[in-house]
Amino acid sequence: MRTATAPSYGFQRRIVVGMSGGVDSSVAATLLLEQGYRVDGVFMKNWEESDDSGHCPAERDFRDARSVCDTLGISLRMVNFSRHYRERVFEHFLRELRAGRTPNPDILCNREIKFRSFLEYALEQGAECIATGHYARIERRGGCLRLLRARDDNKDQTYFLYTLGQEQLARSMFPLGELKKSQVRAIAARQGLVTHDKRDSTGICFIGKRNFRNFLARHLAGRPGEMRTPEGELLGEHGGLMFYTLGQRQGLGIGGRAGRSSGEPWYVVGKDPARNILYVSQGIHPMLFSTTLEAGSLHWISGEPVPVPLRCSARVRHRQPLQECVITRAGEGRCHVRFDRAQQAVTPGQSIVFYAGEECLGGAVIERTDAPAAEQFRRGGA
């Protein structure tokens, strides 16, 4: 049944919506129709392999997207960007893991696939803009477009969008930016959309939720090495540094040990790629904390360098509360950041994203921190 339609009178701006088969993109399309836009849907197929159980999540998501588009009375086309995804996103992901870093493929996927390949495709098809189900807002101030945090702080996704620039923002729409997630689900239920109670997707962008260790083992050869405490005690062997990230406390394979009765969990506190050593500690350890970092691939959304030193807020992971800091320059395309308070598990390969109030200014990729290495700790330099 067609429950939301665009009026048939007057000129209609054509918007292509990235339909993921989830509730957010479903409601984004619904809202645009209600606002009078001409809406078409595109389902992006960006991964060719099935999951570990032999099922293909993309097939189920496409069926849901098809159902939603049928209900709304709009077209849906599947477009395969899997080659672009593998070349521009996944190969970079693997290179970073080989180097002992922890990359964020969702950020790169937004830059290279959703707001590059998909945007280019939509414009070639005669669309004026694309729209997605991201929780973010765009505001024009003077001659500059600003990326603003969503009204729903718990769902805000500007952390994943900081690599966008003026050209992308001028051709993009985020219809959900003013809404709470509960409102989005209520709209979907009212429209009779099959996705109204569908769980949010998790896992690697477009690859989905699966056994991460098994998945990586198909693409990278794990190199076992020593697992030690910062004090140098040998605890056993790890299966490959690529399987671990700073602050991780699951899947370490460390049970109760003689002489250690605190009952505290074990954490990954450091990695030494050169010697292939994984450092773990029982309980929170000083090696997990840093007050400064250096980052590269610096990007400002305005397209213009921001004068430094700059006092602003930042986060080093999605949904982390904003942290006060000062940015200074560290060379072309680079920056140095000092936090007012020590930060836990700041991870090379991840991104730091900068904010001024509700505005997302841009961000950079973390390269190193001042967290003490195991050798420093043993020498008393922590």
69 is catalytic: no
Query: Can you tell me the mean pLDDT for 153-160?
Result: 97
- The active-site residue, picked from 69, 129, 205, 312, is 205
How many structural domains comprise the chain?
3
Do 27 and 170 belong to one domain? yes
8 lies in some domain? no
> For the residues 167-186, what does the mean pLDDT come to?
98
309 cis-preceded (ω within 30 degrees of 0): yes
What's the domain range around 370? 289-378
Query: What pLDDT, on a 0 to 100 scale, did the predictor assign at position 8?
Result: 38
Q: How far, in Å, are 219, 244, 355 from residue 213 at the CA level?
A: 10, 10, 34
The per-residue DSSP string of 234-290 comes to: EEEEES-GGG--TT--SS-----BTTB-S-PPEEEEEEETTTTEEEEEES--GGGEE
- Is there a domain that residue 72 lies in? yes
Q: In this structure, is residue 215 part of a structural domain?
A: no
Please tell me the predicted confidence (pLDDT) of residue 292.
98
Residue 158 lies in a domain: yes
> How does residue 200 score in pLDDT terms, banded at 50, 70 and 90?
confident
Crossing angle of helices 181-190 and 23-34, in 10° steps, is 70
Q: Is residue 206 one of the residues assigned to a domain?
A: no
Residues 360 and 255 in one domain: no
Domain shared by 261 and 309, yes or no: no
Say whether both 256 and 304 belong to one domain: no
pLDDT (mean) for 155-184:
98
* Residue 207, in any domain of the structure: no
Q: What pLDDT is attached to residue 256?
A: 58
In the chain the beta strands, taken as DSSP E runs, fall at 14-18, 38-45, 76-80, 129-131, 136-141, 144-149, 172-173, 225-228, 234-238, 266-272, 277-282, 289-300, 310-315, 323-329, 335-344, 351-356, 359-369
Q: What percent of the chain has pLDDT over 70?
A: 89
Whether pLDDT at 50 is above 80: no
**Could you tell me which residue, 122 or 11, shows the higher pLDDT?**
122
Specify burial of residue 247 (Cβ count, 10 A radius: 0-12, 13-18, 19+): middle
pLDDT given at position 58: 81
Whether 129 is catalytic is no
